[in-house]
Amino acid sequence: MNDQELLSIAQQYGTPLYVYDGNTMIKQYQRLINAFDGMPQLKIQYACKALSNLSILELFKNLGAGLDTVSIQEVQLGLKAGFQPHQIFFTPNGVSIEEIQKVSQMGVQIIIDNLSLLEQFGSIHSNTPVGIRLNPHIMAGGNSKISVGHIDSKFGISIHQFPHIKRIIQITKMKINGVHMHTGSDILDIDVFLKATDILFKHAHEFNDLEFIDFGSGFKVSYYQQDAETNIEELGEKLRQRFETFCHKYGKEVSLVFEPGKFLVSKAGHFLVKVNAIKQTTSTVFAHVDSGFNHLIRPMFYDAYHQIDNISNQDGKSRYYTVVGYICETDTFGSNRKIQEITEGNILAFRNTGAYCYMMSSNYNSRYRPIEVLWYGHQSHLIRKRERFEDLIRHQVPIDWKKSES
Ligand SMILES: *Cc1c(COP(=O)(O)O)cnc(C)c1O
């Protein structure tokens, strides 16, 4: 879709709003399928914590994807969107044994990432096959907040605890049907990623009942023109040989699983806001928009860079602006950005805002969250409507002040 279409969507539905281009999601999905073409039983499990609107889940279901979930509520969303339980993976971290049991009873593939939970689950349900999440201790991620594979990470069972894992399996007689890793977001160095997969392959031979090997995700997308992204095609090339060798040695074709979130939806998202006011100070020109970190927290939380374009003045001359929100706290979206000349009332587009953007929005400052629109089949579809005042107080329980006085 183009900026003219974005602009008319903003005019039709009002700002702030997230617009998702379904075609971009489909294209990214196809890229993954092509990159790993020919691998036995390739499974793409869409990691829905990136963007879990039911219409988005349905879009991926229709493409043939499975689902990767991290909470029982995400599992419920997946079922509601029409996924079969066996198409869903549950790869949480730090959840209770009760939640794991509940999800397991729904028929979902469980992946456990903790020795204590593995032992507890195995002693009660030794007949239910589970996957285990291993931590290969590889630093693959770019940002320390999103890198989860390092030695002090809370994620996964350390490969150094392998003897302990084996002891639990021996005692409980539980069946391990998959091994899993997820080294965190923003993988750039493919060789580092491959090193982690080698470690996983090595340990996978210790299990007799494997049905899948799950390499998680962490594929990086580019956020600006010169920004690098994971070379999926090269990764596919390099992984193919290794995976075939593994299957051959293992004596069985197991499924190859990935759980991409960001890669599938990030680029599809455009966050549209309106410029409320321009404020010129002695050193800076601020553009105040009708949003803040209540709607898009990644710049403040991760120092994430989102390109900002003035789609109301697409061919205009560029000037420098610091784009800020309306939250009563510092909420800088971008400092000294070169943007097509802005006048009040213009619509700005934040690019690459499909993943982890709407999902992390809140009602801070008692504002409504943005609406969501899906562009699909050359048409816009409202997939989440604007909240209203009642929504802000819906779950509040008023006190009967008179009664408590007596
Ligand atoms: C978050 C997460 C993903 C998705 O990561 P992306 O960087 O968005 O691709 C995949 N697997 C697990 C277990 C996750 O927690």
Could you read off the pLDDT of 245-266 as tens digits, one per residue? 999 999 999 999 999 999 999 9
228 or 358, greater pLDDT = 358
> How far apart, in Å, do the first and last CA atoms of the chain sit?
63
- Percent of the chain at pLDDT > 70 equals 96
Cβ-contact 178, 135 below 8 angstroms? no
Tell me if 142 CB under 6 Å of ligand 1. Answer: no
Tell me if 334 CB under 6 Å of ligand 1. Answer: no
- Check residue 191 and give its pLDDT: 87
Could you read off the pLDDT of 81-98 as tens digits, one per residue? 999 999 999 999 999 999
What is the 50 CA–ligand 1 centroid distance (Å)?
Answer: 8
* Least reliable range by pLDDT among 31-45, 135-149, 251-265, 385-399: 135-149
* Least reliable range by pLDDT among 112-121, 141-150, 241-250: 141-150
Whether the bond between 40 and the residue before it is cis, its omega within 30 degrees of 0, is: no
* pLDDT tier for residue 152 given thresholds of 50, 70 and 90: low
- Average pLDDT along the chain: 93
Q: State which ligand 1 atom lies nearest to the alpha carbon of 263.
A: 9
- Check residue 404 and give its pLDDT: 84
What is the 67 CA–ligand 1 centroid distance (Å)?
Answer: 11
38: left (phi over 0), alpha (psi -120 to 50) or beta: left
Cα distances from 389 to residues 16, 276, 363, 366, 398, in angstroms, run: 16, 21, 11, 9, 16
- Check residue 128 and give its pLDDT: 96
- Percent of the chain at pLDDT > 90 equals 84
Residues belonging to the active site? 328
Ligand 1 mutation target, pool 143, 180, 185, most atoms within 8 A of CB: 185
Cβ-contact 268, 46 below 8 angstroms? no
Closest CA to 293 of 180, 369, 188, 390: 369
> pTM of the full predicted structure?
0.95
277 pLDDT higher than 80: yes
143 pLDDT higher than 60: no
* Least reliable range by pLDDT among 44-58, 182-196, 207-221: 182-196
Residue 331 Cα to chain centre, angstroms: 23
Residue 227 Cα to chain centre, angstroms: 19
> What is the average pLDDT across 317-330?
95
> What is the average pLDDT across 366-387?
97
> What is the average pLDDT across 226-244?
91
* pLDDT tier for residue 137 given thresholds of 50, 70 and 90: confident
- Check residue 106 and give its pLDDT: 98
Tell me if 156 CB under 6 Å of ligand 1. Answer: no
145 pLDDT higher than 60: no
- Angle subtended at Cα 238 by Cα 237 and Cα 239, rounded to the nearest 5 degrees: 95
> What is the average pLDDT across 155-161?
90
> What is the average pLDDT across 312-339?
96
Structure tokens at 130: 């589970």
Could you read off the pLDDT of 98-111 as tens digits, one per residue? 999 999 999 999 99
* Least reliable range by pLDDT among 89-98, 117-126, 135-144, 234-243: 135-144
- Check residue 150 and give its pLDDT: 60
- Bridge partners, residue 401, by sequence: none
Tell me if 164 CB under 6 Å of ligand 1. Answer: no
- Check residue 121 and give its pLDDT: 97
Ligand 1 mutation target, pool 49, 219, 357, most atoms within 8 A of CB: 49
* Amino acid (one-letter) located at 89: F
Structure tokens at 391: 């929504």
- Check residue 153 and give its pLDDT: 74
3-state secondary structure the chain: CCHHHHHHHHHHHCCCEEEEEHHHHHHHHHHHHHHCCCCCCEEEEEECCCCCCHHHHHHHHHHCCEEEECCHHHHHHHHHCCCCHHHEEECCCCCCHHHHHHHHHCCCEEEECCHHHHHHHHHHCCCCCEEEEEECCCCCCCCCCCECCCCCCCCCEEHHHHHHHHHHHHHHCCCEEEEECCCECCECCHHHHHHHHHHHHHHHCCCCCCCEEECCCCECCCCCCCCCCCCHHHHHHHHHHHHHHHHHHHCCCCEEEECCCHHHHHHHEEEEEEEEEEEECCCCEEEEECCCCCCCCHHHHHCCCCCEEECCCCCCCEEEEEEECCCCCCCEEEEEEEEECCCCCCEEEEECCCCCCHHHCCCHHHCCCCEEEEEECCEEEEEECCCCHHHHHCCCCCCCHHHHHC
- Check residue 171 and give its pLDDT: 96
Could you read off the pLDDT of 289-308 as tens digits, one per residue? 999 999 999 999 999 999 99
